[in-house]
Structure 1
Amino acid sequence: MRLERRSASDGIEYSATGFIERPAAARPAPFTKSVVADGDELVGTACVYGVPHYGKNRQREVFVPGCFARSLASQQAIRLLLDHDESKLIATRADSLRIESDDLRLTIRCKVAGTSAGAVMKAAVNEGGRMECSVGYNVVESYERLIESESVKFITDARLLEISLVRKGAVPGTSASIRYASDSSLLKAFQGLEDALDARSRAFRQLLDSL
């Protein structure tokens, strides 16, 4: 996927479908393989609905609940990548990647298998700082609305191509972490994050309904 780099001063890289913010001089740290135990898995929030973010061309966008429904209902092999890089394929929906959606968010689960790909994924999150997610998509249907003198694009239908583990995602509230089979405390922390995101998303939808 082609990246269009802006000036070194603003440190923003745009992909064909969104953007990743990171210091311009930063480069991904080398991956270090780590021990992978049976039962460990990646869990994450890939996208949060109803949350404004800046997409390509710096336009405000909002993903509407259900916008990825057609992609999820199809047999399309949605990919899990690192940094929107097709050469860093971790898994697809045809194997260990599981994707679910409700009226608040898009979530992922992926078994951290005892393979080189599993070790890379685990190291990317734990050691490489890729603790957020970003979606790669093509807009199929959308509409625009003027909110506080700013045009906001509401995406109602989009083709979901891939989900990437990144250091900084475009949509606030995404996350990625390794859930260890032997550590239930991570599960409790993740559930607490979900509760906080629920409250935030509901508040924003109430604000939109009142406009």
Structure 2
Amino acid sequence: MSDDEGEMHYLGGGFITMWDGKSRGRPQYAMDEMKRRPPAEPRPGLRITLGGYASVFNKVHLDHEGKQIEVFSPGCFARGLHDGRAIRFLVRHHEIKCLATTADSLELLADDVGLAFRCALSAGDPADEAIALARTNAAGMSVGYRVVQDEVRTIDGHKVRFLRDVSLDEITICPPGKGCVREAYCVVINDNSRTLRQMCESKTLADEWSSVAFRRALGSFADQLTGLATK
């Protein structure tokens, strides 16, 4: 006797397809139901949202060459945010590591603090590198731009370049360093119930800086203690 004899086999819809070792086929109502049923939607990949401030106004920083003291003035990014060009989100300023643009999932908004951003990413290369940086509190942010209008002032004997109008090309996640405003940062956003504007207006996003600064300082002290212990 066949192993199938005396057993009933069911398909997903709950109808019998085999009985006593003989195929019964699909009933007509099941065939009609399968025709009416829409194709299954592909399961989306894991989505991680990054956000923070790509730049902060009225904070001094060194340019990418480490030679010029610069300050981003409020309103300096207006041109790039309204001229219709797609602004890129890169990893370490590498063109081949483009995470997104403002034509898809990158959101940008200039408020009274600086240039806020939010971006939903699917896990995978190169997003994994950016997500790892954000999770280790080692993520600085920088911007790529062309200067349209600036003003150089001498303050306490130092020449400071105030950037009044820039053409924004990209924002990038990278370790803090030359070209980065120290107070700019990127973190993983766990609450996506509010829009980027709502997060800015409620200061929820700006308040993240206190936590980031604390964790960065804690990590720095830990590194110093480790260095002393190894001497």
So what's the TM-score if we normalise by structure 1? 0.65
Residues 123 and 69 (structure 1), Cα distance of their counterparts in 2 relative to 1, 3 Å cut? same
Please name the residue that 1:138 is paired with. Answer: 146
Question: For residues 129-169 of structure 1, what are the alpha-carbon distances to aligned partners after superposition, in whole Å with 9 as ceiling and x for unaligned?
Answer: 65110011111100111100111111100011111100114
Identical-residue share of aligned pairs (%)? 33
Q: State the partner residue of 1:172.
A: 182
Give the structure with higher Rg (CA): 2
Q: In angstroms, what is the RMSD of aligned CA positions?
A: 2.8
Alignment of 1:8-87 (within 5 A): 37-38=46-47, 40-55=48-63, 56=65, 58-87=67-96
Equivalent of residue 148 in structure 1, options 141, 145, 156: 156
Structure 1 segment 156-195 matched on structure 2, within 5 A: 156-169=164-177, 170-181=180-191, 190-194=205-209
Q: For the residues of structure 1 that align with 2:69 and 2:127, how far apart are their CA atoms?
A: 35
- Gap regions ≥5 residues in structure 2: 1-44, 193-198, 213-231
What is residue 31 of structure 2 aligned with on the other side?
A: none
Partner Cα distance (2:154, 2:78) in 1: 26
Tell me, yes or no, if the aligned pair for 1:112 and 1:121 is still in contact at 8 Å.
no
Moved more, 109-118 or 150-159: 109-118
Q: Secondary structure at the match of 1:58?
A: coil
How many residues matched? 156
Q: In the aligned structure 1, how far is the partner of 2:66 from the partner of 2:130?
A: 30
Say which SS state the counterpart of residue 143 (structure 1) adopts: strand
Separation in structure 1 between the aligned mates of residue 184 and residue 157 of structure 2, nearest angstrom = 27
Aligned partner of 2:120 among 85, 100, 111:
111
Unmatched segments (≥5 aa) in structure 1: 1-35, 198-211
Query: Do structure 1's residue 99 and structure 2's residue 108 form an aligned pair?
Result: yes
Alignment of 1:126 onto 2:141? no
Counterpart secondary structure, 2:79:
helix
Q: 1:114 to 1:54 in 2, by over 3 A?
A: closer
Give the deviation of 1:52 after TM superposition: 1.0
Q: Distance in 1 between matches of 2:95 and 2:191?
A: 29
| Higher RCO (CA-CA < 8 Å; seq separation 6+) | 1
Letter aligned with residue 193 of structure 1: E
Partner of 1:28: none
- For the Cα contact (< 8 Å) 1:112–1:119, is it kept in 2? no
